[in-house]
């Protein structure tokens, strides 16, 4: 945002972290005089037009209603507004939703599906990181050839920043380094978020399994998606479908045939890279994003750009 020509950052806040931005994140040395303060809703209401709420789920729904009431535009990065129904939130996140009134206002902030709705939205539910990589990888086939798809298996791998900065034993260096493991197998809370969008675009339910893994790197998600189809298609045909589907998208790159995405090629960028392979009744789609960028921050800025009619990749390219 500091590099964004149409944005002035007026307020930075957290729960307990305070001080100059340089002292918290020394990489910002000499780039800004901004300081981080203890969050005060009245101040946010007074000095901001738009707000990025990047706090843990259950915290966002305490903050967002007051901002909406004050006519602010809000991009929420948590899961609090990603499900249209409070009952789904309760089921998958285990908490009662305390801001049901604003659930229907929230637009799911995946520009590749909801660009028109995002333009006029007051509240954006920025998608989860795994869902962004999975949905973008699946969308061209599930929204045009859904009847042909029998089953989808998503095998996804994420770097450790996906879990945020909280200190927990299983995220310590010695636990994560030189290690690779699956977690929340078939029960991760991002699965219903992926399903909601895929099934909505397909118009019916497609059986889907999701297994996330934690890998010893800081940033990046690689999702390998196995689609079992009734009728085989040629690789050239599928490649053409993907190229056409995303031909005007600034953040999605369909790789040339024979090339596969790598997390290092999207590191610190707003891109989602997608690769394709096929053998008989099996299509394999791989997608790579940076979980902190297209999986969170750059997607949030992309949404803001769309909301305000700015060039979509301003500040993130
Ligand atoms: N990390 C990812 O890859 C990723 C991707 C997509 C979406 N998300 C979502 O985005 C949100 C932020 O993620 P993160 O990884 O940045 O989390 P994080 O590292 O845990 O940071 C959360 C921040 O929120 C602040 N905070 C907590 N409660 C607050 C409150 N009541 N008022 C004001 N500030 C408060 C914390 O302040 P202190 O510094 O004082 O503790 C901290 O700075 C989460 O909902 C997460 O699920 C994360």
pLDDT above 90 covers a percentage of the chain that reads 98
Write the pLDDT tens digit of every residue in 114-130.
999 999 999 999 999 99
Write the pLDDT tens digit of every residue in 227-249.
999 999 999 999 999 999 999 99
For residue 226, what is the enclosing H or E element? strand 221-229
Full-model pTM: 0.97
Q: How far is CA 12 from the centre of its chain?
A: 22
Q: Please list the helix, strand and coil fractions of the chain in percent, rounded to the nearest 5, in that order.
A: 35, 20, 40
The phi, psi pair for 179, rounded to 5°, reads: -140, 155
CA 217 to ligand 1 centroid distance, Å: 19
CA 25 to ligand 1 centroid distance, Å: 15
For ligand 1, say whether the CB of 168 is within 6 Å of any of its atoms.
Answer: no
CA 291 to ligand 1 centroid distance, Å: 14
CA 238 to ligand 1 centroid distance, Å: 38
- According to DSSP, the β-strands at 252-254 and 272-279 are parallel
Query: Residue 285 has what pLDDT?
Result: 98
Pairwise CA distance, residues 267 & 292, whole Å: 9
pLDDT above 70 covers a percentage of the chain that reads 100
Please name the residue ranges forming H helices in 143-281. 173-176, 190-202, 235-245
Write the pLDDT tens digit of every residue in 82-110.
999 999 999 999 999 999 999 999 999 99
Q: How confident is the model at residue 39 (pLDDT cuts 50, 70, 90)?
A: very high
Tokens of residue 261, six digits: 């995405």
For ligand 1, say whether the CB of 41 is within 6 Å of any of its atoms.
Answer: no
For ligand 1, say whether the CB of 17 is within 6 Å of any of its atoms.
Answer: yes
Write the pLDDT tens digit of every residue in 283-303.
999 999 999 999 999 999 999
For ligand 1, say whether the CB of 28 is within 6 Å of any of its atoms.
Answer: no
The phi, psi pair for 62, rounded to 5°, reads: -85, -25
Query: Residue 232 has what pLDDT?
Result: 93
Asked if 291 contacts 298 with a C-beta cutoff of 8 angstroms, the reply is no
For ligand 1, say whether the CB of 140 is within 6 Å of any of its atoms.
Answer: no
Q: Which numbered atom of ligand 1 lies nearest the CA of 62?
A: 31
Q: Which residue owns the Cα nearest ligand 1 atom 43?
A: 14
Q: How confident is the model at residue 171 (pLDDT cuts 50, 70, 90)?
A: very high
* CA atoms 127, 128, 131, 137: torsion sign: positive
> What are the distances in angstroms from CA 234 to CA 25, 149, 225, 252, 278?
49, 15, 17, 22, 8
CA 78 to ligand 1 centroid distance, Å: 8
**Per-residue pLDDT averaged across 186-214, rounded?**
97
Query: Residue 58 has what pLDDT?
Result: 97
For ligand 1, say whether the CB of 128 is within 6 Å of any of its atoms.
Answer: yes
User: Looking at the annotation, which residues are catalytic?
Assistant: 129
Burial (0-12, 13-18, 19+ Cβ within 10 Å), 88: middle
Q: How confident is the model at residue 182 (pLDDT cuts 50, 70, 90)?
A: very high
- Region of 258 (left: φ > 0; alpha: ψ -120 to 50; beta: rest) is left
Q: How confident is the model at residue 164 (pLDDT cuts 50, 70, 90)?
A: very high
């Amino acid at each position: 945002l500091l590099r964004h020509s149409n944005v002035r950052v007026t307020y930075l806040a957290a729960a307990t972290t305070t001080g100059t931005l340089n002292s918290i994140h020394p990489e910002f040395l000499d780039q800004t005089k901004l300081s981080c303060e203890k969050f005060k809703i009245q101040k946010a209401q007074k000095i901001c037009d738009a707000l990025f709420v990047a706090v843990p789920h259950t915290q966002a729904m305490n903050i967002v209603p007051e901002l909406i009431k004050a006519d602010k535009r809000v991009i929420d990065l948590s899961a609090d507004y990603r499900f249209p129904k409070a009952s789904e939130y309760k089921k998958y996140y285990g908490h009662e939703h305390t801001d049901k009134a604003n659930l229907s206002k929230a637009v799911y902030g995946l520009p590749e599906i909801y660009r028109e709705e995002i333009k006029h939205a007051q509240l954006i539910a920025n998608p989860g990181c795994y869902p962004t990589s999975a949905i973008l990888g699946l969308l061209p086939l599930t929204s045009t050839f859904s009847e042909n798809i029998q089953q989808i298996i998503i095998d996804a791998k994420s770097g450790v920043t996906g879990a945020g900065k909280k200190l927990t034993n299983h995220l310590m260096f010695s636990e994560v380094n030189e290690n690779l493991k699956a977690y929340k197998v078939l029960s991760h809370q991002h699965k219903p978020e992926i399903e909601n969008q895929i099934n909505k675009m397909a118009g019916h339910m497609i059986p889907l399994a999701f297994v996330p893994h934690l890998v010893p790197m800081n940033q990046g998600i690689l999702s390998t998606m196995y689609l079992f189809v009734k009728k085989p298609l040629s690789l050239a045909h599928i490649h053409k479908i993907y190229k056409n589907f995303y031909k005007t998208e600034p953040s999605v790159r369909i790789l040339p045939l024979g090339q596969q995405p790598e997390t290092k090629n999207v590191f610190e960028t707003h891109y989602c890279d997608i690769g394709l392979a096929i053998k008989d009744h099996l299509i394999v789609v791989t997608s790579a994003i940076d979980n902190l960028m297209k999986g969170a921050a750059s997607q949030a800025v992309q949404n803001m750009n769309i909301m305000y009619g700015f060039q979509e990749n301003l500040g993130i390219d």
